């Protein structure tokens, strides 16, 4: 596995899901303060882009824009059907201002 830069902290608006791509992986990036969470952008239920969904701050989750299942940004687990599979969670390192993702 390699660490790949996906940008700087300033590239990601706090609380706003953002699409990124690294080493062929489609990513949903959510910055929460000084922390950055990265999960696979593709919903396993309907292949919707999670970066087009809503960030649920109280649950630290991303909601699928098509069917409303939410996925934990920490574990990738879905909260309720129709989604039953977790999304992949990518390890993130902040190096100075650079956001590095392990892919």
In this prediction, residue 73 carries a pLDDT of 98
In this prediction, residue 45 carries a pLDDT of 86
In this prediction, residue 46 carries a pLDDT of 82
Span 17-53, pLDDT tens digits: 999 999 999 999 999 999 999 999 999 988 899 999 9
Measuring CA to CA, how many Å separate 5 from each of 21, 28, 53, 86?
Answer: 10, 14, 23, 24
Q: Encoding tokens for residue 40?
A: 């696979």
Q: Is the pLDDT reported for residue 1 higher than 80?
A: no
């Amino acid at each position: 596995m390699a660490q790949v830069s996906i940008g700087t902290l300033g590239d990601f608006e706090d609380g706003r899901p953002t699409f990124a791509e690294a080493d062929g992986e489609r990513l949903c990036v959510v910055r929460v303060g000084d922390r950055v969470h990265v999960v696979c952008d593709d919903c396993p239920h309907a292949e919707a882009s999670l970066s087009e969904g809503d960030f649920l701050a109280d649950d630290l989750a991303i909601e699928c824009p098509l069917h409303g299942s939410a996925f934990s940004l920490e574990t990738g687990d879905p909260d309720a059907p129709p989604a039953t599979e977790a999304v992949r969670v990518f390890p993130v390192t902040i190096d100075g201002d650079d956001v590095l993702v392990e892919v």
